[in-house]
Amino acid sequence: MALGTKRTTSGTSSTASATTSGDSSTIGIMTYPPLVHLIWGGALLVGNVVGNMLQVESTQSWFLGGTPYLRLDWGIWSQWPAFVHGQLGQYQTIAFIASWGAQFVLMTSKIGTTFIVARAAQKHGTPAHKVASVVKEASIRVGFWNFLAWAIILFDSITDWNFSNGLGFWQQLFFVAVTFLMTFYFGTWGVMNIVSGLGRMRE
């Protein structure tokens, strides 16, 4: 009987310890005021824009065969009206579509498509959509998207490597890793910080 009591006490103690640890983690995360989340969320979004700009420049430099020049050129945004009005040359148009398209692929892969597909199937799906052959075809399409998207993201990082050529191996590796994090995570985490800050301000 005493042994059983000891086990029960131990189990209760472990549960209480785990709960306390979880609460401490939550308290530690939420100690910053909402304004901090708003400011940092904005900073992350700026970093995301800068990272995407650098990747667009590196990809276009690779396509157009120019000498990579490591600088931030805000003039790349003027490519959009030039593209819309058909003012870009043939190779410039190809470089434009490839570079900006790669960033859209990257952001779509980060944000994800699983939830959207599941939501659409739940709202508009019929028994015909649940047939094994249809489900298999959908899985193939998603698998093809994932494979090709990550291949594009990998090549995008390779162009960043070439963009930082001459800096040394570790410097290039560090630059590629930082640029990837800036483009792949800063955007969504920036939005999440801003939403969190606004939500807490309304509480």
Query: Phi and psi at residue 165, in whole multiples of 5°?
Result: -60, 140
Can you tell me the distance from the alpha carbon of 123 to that of 140, in angstroms, rounded to the nearest whole number? 22
Task: Round the average pLDDT of the chain to a whole number and report it.
Answer: 80
Query: What mean pLDDT is predicted for residues 137-165?
Result: 86
Radius of gyration of the chain (CA): 24
Distance set, CA 94 to CA 51, 98, 100, 153 (Å): 21, 6, 10, 17
Q: What tens digit of pLDDT does each residue of 122-143 get?
A: 666 666 666 677 667 777 888 8
Residue 95 structure tokens: 């470089």
pTM comes to 0.72
- Residue 165's pLDDT band (cuts 50, 70, 90): confident
Query: Which region, left, alpha or beta, applies to residue 152 given φ > 0 means left and ψ of -120 to 50 means alpha?
Result: alpha
Could you tell me which of 37, 29, 24, 23 has the C-alpha nearest to residue 201?
Answer: 37
